[in-house]
Amino acid sequence: MAGMTPTRPKQKRRVTSPLQEMDGEEEELVELDGSGSETSAPSLSAIASIVRQEMQTAIAPVEAQLSSMQATFGNRLSNVEAKLADHDLKIGKLEQLTVNKSVPTNVTQQVEKQLADLQSQLDTLKAVPVVSKADIAKTVVVGGLEDMPSLNAATQWLTDKLRELGGPCHTGTYMKSSTFKGLVFAKFNSSYDRDMAAALLRSASMTCGDKHVWATQDLPIPVRARKMFLLGLRWQLGEWGFSKREIEVGDEYFSLMIAGKVVVKLTMNESGIQYHWAEEWAQWDDFQNSPELSQLCEKANSIWHKQGKGSGKSKGAAC
């Protein structure tokens, strides 16, 4: 009878940390023996429908706040334009007096320079988008595309996948390196579209060649550095036996708490990230001297000092 027992299917479990996933590294799976029932995977359209419904419910308060901020910005811009119009009137009168009283040319040139500076400031105000601290960028980073030969090819691939998933269309893409290295930065019209696209791409569990495709919000460098450190620390503490349910990361990634008690707070200055540990954690020598903590600190500070601008922009394909 024992020889007739069917072989149970193998299961897979994750052996990589979120730290590796945020570096765009492929998640490794280890097969384990175990039993399980065969179920059919939901279709991409069903996943997309569920994600859209949840995102629309969650984003409604943010859209209301954004509308309020747009109205406030509009009022302030109107005030600036009114002041500039008043300056124009005063400049006109001054120019008339200059003609009548033969004011030296250098005075007129100074006035014209001041007017040009005011106009430049107004143009800058008009060009700045209305954003909140939680909506600094409307960009999604898509990784795992090393098999793509160029940014243009990766852009077309991303456009096709978003269309297939019923997601929002990006407004353009760019890369932050001189040559394409498998990372695409895709811009969207709003934070809602950005979050929707990232959620759809993640839930689809796609691959490009033999690489797992991942997507996340493109955070400013200081936030990205804090996030990398705190999420990496949370994972490491879980590996050391701390209850993961009791570990919490604060808003904007400034602190980490266990069971409601602050473990560490982060501040930033020109030299890098400053770590302010609770007294008992600061006095725990084995923890403070651990290679795992040193690696997290080094990586976070390397992100903080990272420099670079995007290049190689390409036009987004119509969705």
- In this predicted structure, the answer to whether residue 201 has a pLDDT above a threshold of 80 is yes
pLDDT number for residue 132? 44
Amino acid at 154: A
Contact predicate 197/140, CB 8 Å: yes
pLDDT number for residue 234? 92
E strand or H helix at 143:
strand 139-143
Alpha carbons 282 and 263: distance in angstroms, whole number: 9
pLDDT number for residue 235? 92
More confident residue, 209 or 87: 209
**Can you count the helices (H) and strands (E) in the chain?**
9, 13
CA atoms lying within 13 Å on the CB side of residue 222? 13
Minimum mean pLDDT range among 5-14, 93-102, 115-124, 259-268: 5-14
**Three-state SS at 178:** coil
Q: How large a percentage of the chain has pLDDT more than 70?
A: 74
Q: Which residues contact 220 (CB under 8 A, 6 or more apart)?
A: 136, 137
- In this predicted structure, the answer to whether residue 57 has a pLDDT above a threshold of 60 is yes
pLDDT number for residue 48? 81
Q: Which residues contact 211 (CB under 8 A, 6 or more apart)?
A: 26, 144, 145, 146, 147, 182
Q: Residue 212 corresponds to which tokens in the numbers above?
A: 């797992």
Alpha carbons 86 and 94: distance in angstroms, whole number: 12
pLDDT number for residue 133? 42
What average pLDDT does range 295-302 have in this prediction?
89
Pairing of strands 261-269, 272-277: antiparallel
pLDDT number for residue 286? 92
Cα dist from 143 to 2, 90, 122, 230, whole Å: 47, 55, 38, 21
Q: How large a percentage of the chain has pLDDT more than 90?
A: 21
pLDDT number for residue 256? 93
The DSSP code for 26 is: P
pLDDT number for residue 312? 47
Q: Which alpha helices (H) appear in 102-215, and where do they start and end?
A: 105-127, 151-165, 191-203
More confident residue, 84 or 102: 84
pLDDT number for residue 275? 93
- In this predicted structure, the answer to whether residue 290 has a pLDDT above a threshold of 90 is yes
What average pLDDT does range 50-66 have in this prediction?
81
Amino acid at 207: T
pLDDT number for residue 311? 44
What average pLDDT does range 229-236 have in this prediction?
91
Task: State pLDDT tens for residues 120-155.
Answer: 666 655 544 444 444 446 888 898 998 889 999 999
Split at pLDDT 50, 70, 90, the class of 266 is very high
pTM: 0.44
Split at pLDDT 50, 70, 90, the class of 100 is low
pLDDT number for residue 319? 56
- In this predicted structure, the answer to whether residue 85 has a pLDDT above a threshold of 90 is no
pLDDT number for residue 120? 64
Alpha carbons 53 and 140: distance in angstroms, whole number: 20
- In this predicted structure, the answer to whether residue 257 has a pLDDT above a threshold of 90 is yes
